[in-house]
Structure 1
């Protein structure tokens, strides 16, 4: 009986494993220097390689140990340059929208150039190597989207931030600004008039900046490094077969998506936690009331925060009845409280999976948000910039966390926020409920990403997934031309009839006046 049960279980599991396709050669381009972006795709790429596909990965993060079917082309970017951009972003977060968008440009252009000027990558462009599929990170780097037409291969985009007004254009998706907030916005459903107005403003500014600043800069790179490509950049950037989005409606909101825009949030999360290092395990277990984990992610480094912020954090932690693990990028922290354990790096997913870790203090980055939802832990949010504010707003609305203002919090405010979440069971209950929704899917996110990737390979670009909007210009897509005919012709007819009637009545009136005048003349005679 047990043997029969095992056979049935094996058949059920096999039914959910995506069917294999013939081995393909895949070029993957992920140029950004933020480690979290590459961490998202690393399990996905390793799984593709394990399934027999030959991966050529262009990134800043080569594999530490060789992997079968995996070739790295390593980009050389100074970490100090990346840190300067992040520090500048923190300083600019309280300024205007244009300053924030200028930082995006300063982040994107060097990343695009790092790929196009890499000699090993240039050899790929000049050589005769064939690729069956191109996978590229999509974030305002349109010059790289020419790789699909250059290698005559279908192209898949991966957005680590999810959908937005710019990425939507790649697969002709629709994001109604009346209820779908921009990732860099501050509001959720945007049902209030002023919220909808603010969302319209943000989306419009971002769209115009992309149109008049980002795209012209990328156009120049496109013309320089792809001189033989005949397609216009506007056609190239809308030539994606598939868009994988790092988002999921269970913790954000339901929104319209075209068939080739697939939500894959959670595909990077390990489902079987590893054993923690002995010193971390001992520190967590030494705290009878549980422990807390604090990290500002891989981009914002705690060690580089202003001294007054570090002191406020230390004072708050020192007053807590629990131990705290703090991702701190230096080996020494003067005045560190006894209940604080610092380290340059923590196995975050394994920490969050630990049953005695009761709370995550986070900046609200997309990957940290997904991981905490996966493991069902409540949070205290400290958003810093871009999508982090909206991610924390989602968490507040779902009821499994509270927030403090990163710009001007006090040690007392941070301590009170932590104790509120630790001592009130409603936050942990809500976290478990949202986590259950997140896991309730017909297929695990990594399996879904693999399935749809191989679907594109099986169906030679899967044109059946793509909506016809890619063949239409702006006026046609938004039915401006048809509405002009539908409403314009009746209006013109009304105007024309009005003009005719006006002239007719004017003529009748004039004739009537002439008749009266003639009668008066005759009477006077």
Structure 2
């Protein structure tokens, strides 16, 4: 089977080479200050450049060394107050407040991009032309205006899969009876109360989108693209392709329209790089294995409450395993000898090491994918957005345990670590899921490149669009039809009632007159 897959991959790679079109000019917009999003998309963009396309990228992480066919437009302004913003979302927010936060956060990023001098020069240049625009599709509809401004097809790239808004972009339908909201901690198997909760969350997101988010985006769209030929409502449903950082083996099977392509894990290299000497020595010297602990790129471990840090330290000190902890400060008072701290770790390369037995993570999608790729069980400590959903799905799938950071204790945290390390079922389950993920006919990065160039070859590939892209919410779900049927039925029942009451009234009146005469 592996031999057949190898041959198929080689042939597909050859097809990619033969089908490569003449170098296109591509504008990519990935300005988010969280490194994980750019780590995900960077191999994809670099591969497009390596294949001869001229790629211009608006981003917050410019290359340190020049790359052929690759031009950076840095927007470092997006880092202003970023840490404070991330810390603020960790406070208790209800769902409406959470939606408000994301609207304001992504609006702030969009404005900093559009007000950047180099970006303004790009927009106002009469010489700049692009054949394709690629954007991160996370509540930044105003940035989709670049596609209509340059008259180019639009490709969306989602770092976490899809949600109700992205579904609307391409006319997809996510049955809320078994597709949990990305803003929830639900799984596909929901009882009535959970389905009710999912229904309310999805409904609230729709309500917020159309009453708060879109009206604000529309004002900005008209301000920054005053000569736009199409409205924001039209432009947000004008995607040629949607690349999803997801795969059914990583989450669950669900419906996708033809122009939604799953490319989950395209950033992961099949061949790990050698580890730095100090990290390699620390891991290789661990007789009882290693635990890797990282809260991701947005949550800083050094910013956690002192009480929480003390719980981690005391728990790790009691373990026979060694611990690699992504900790952003130079020093960590009270650090036990079995703990190695660093501001940065080559995470995929560490997870690939056979001595690493457990991954303690915030539950971000990239981290979850890397855990599956390298078959490492996890303990999830989610904080915000889709992390709760990812961890809940991992627990349901049987390769993870979850921890509530607000109620964590030395006893409960230590017990869960020991439970996973001492019970082979978690490792066996993640190995099974890892095999399922790896069993794909082509690599995710090759699929992403193929379909991107497919859109270029077929001038936007409009033949992949479903008719639902041209319908509104009422029409997609036939609510207008149902409404008319209910109205017609009500009128019909009223007419029948009126008619019968007249007949019965006439009969009773005639009988009464007859009896009176008698």
TM over 0.5: yes
Where do 1:255-404 residues align within 5 Å?
A: 255-404=254-403
What is the CA-CA distance between 1:295 and the residue it aligns to?
A: 0.3
Shift in CA distance, 80/288, structure 1 to aligned 2, threshold 3 Å: farther
Contact 1:362 1:380 in 2 (8 A): yes
Over residues 8-47 of structure 1, what are the superposed CA-to-partner deviations in whole Å (9 max), with x where a residue is unaligned?
7996464564631221100001121111011110000000
Contact 1:28 1:57 in 2 (8 A): yes
What is the CA-CA distance between 1:251 and the residue it aligns to?
A: 2.4
Where do 1:98-497 residues align within 5 Å?
A: 98-128=96-126, 129-486=128-485, 488-497=487-496
Over residues 216-270 of structure 1, what are the superposed CA-to-partner deviations in whole Å (9 max), with x where a residue is unaligned?
1111110110001132211111010111111111121111111111111100111
Shift in CA distance, 407/478, structure 1 to aligned 2, threshold 3 Å: same
1:96 maps to 2:90:
no
What secondary structure does 1:248 align onto? Answer: coil
TM-score computed with the length of structure 2 as normaliser: 0.95
Q: State the distance in 2 between where 1:481 and 1:404 align.
A: 45
Over residues 115-138 of structure 1, what are the superposed CA-to-partner deviations in whole Å (9 max), with x where a residue is unaligned?
111111111211121100000011
Contact 2:170 2:465 in 1 (8 A): yes
Shift in CA distance, 173/422, structure 1 to aligned 2, threshold 3 Å: same
Q: State the distance in 2 between where 1:207 and 1:244 align.
A: 22
Which region of structure 1 is more displaced relative to structure 2, 56-65 or 141-150?
A: 141-150
Shift in CA distance, 230/483, structure 1 to aligned 2, threshold 3 Å: same
Contact 2:183 2:386 in 1 (8 A): yes
Shift in CA distance, 351/16, structure 1 to aligned 2, threshold 3 Å: farther
Match of 1:523 in 2: none
What secondary structure does 1:77 align onto? Answer: helix
What secondary structure does 1:241 align onto? Answer: strand
What secondary structure does 2:81 align onto? Answer: helix
Over residues 470-512 of structure 1, what are the superposed CA-to-partner deviations in whole Å (9 max), with x where a residue is unaligned?
2223332222333345555455334323322221221232233
TM-score computed with the length of structure 1 as normaliser: 0.94
Q: State the distance in 1 between where 2:379 and 2:199 align.
A: 29
What secondary structure does 1:131 align onto? Answer: coil
Q: Which runs of 5+ in 1 are unaligned?
A: 521-525
Q: State the distance in 2 between where 1:236 and 1:76 align.
A: 27
Q: Which runs of 5+ in 2 are unaligned?
A: none
What is the CA-CA distance between 1:407 and the residue it aligns to?
A: 1.2
Over residues 441-490 of structure 1, what are the superposed CA-to-partner deviations in whole Å (9 max), with x where a residue is unaligned?
12111111111111111111111111001222333222233334555545
Q: State the distance in 1 between where 2:136 and 2:389 align.
A: 22
Q: State the distance in 1 between where 2:303 and 2:174 align.
A: 37
Q: State the distance in 1 between where 2:409 and 2:515 align.
A: 91
Shift in CA distance, 79/476, structure 1 to aligned 2, threshold 3 Å: closer
Where do 1:37-56 residues align within 5 Å?
A: 37-56=37-56
Q: State the distance in 2 between where 1:432 and 1:426 align.
A: 10
Q: State the distance in 1 between where 2:172 and 2:233 align.
A: 15
1:85 maps to 2:85:
yes
Contact 1:326 1:340 in 2 (8 A): yes
Q: State the distance in 2 between where 1:155 and 1:43 align.
A: 19
Contact 2:174 2:255 in 1 (8 A): yes
Q: State the distance in 1 between where 2:453 and 2:320 align.
A: 51
Q: State the distance in 2 between where 1:11 and 1:268 align.
A: 19
Over residues 65-86 of structure 1, what are the superposed CA-to-partner deviations in whole Å (9 max), with x where a residue is unaligned?
1000001111022635111111
What secondary structure does 1:166 align onto? Answer: helix
Contact 1:245 1:265 in 2 (8 A): yes
Q: State the distance in 1 between where 2:465 and 2:246 align.
A: 20
Contact 2:144 2:236 in 1 (8 A): yes
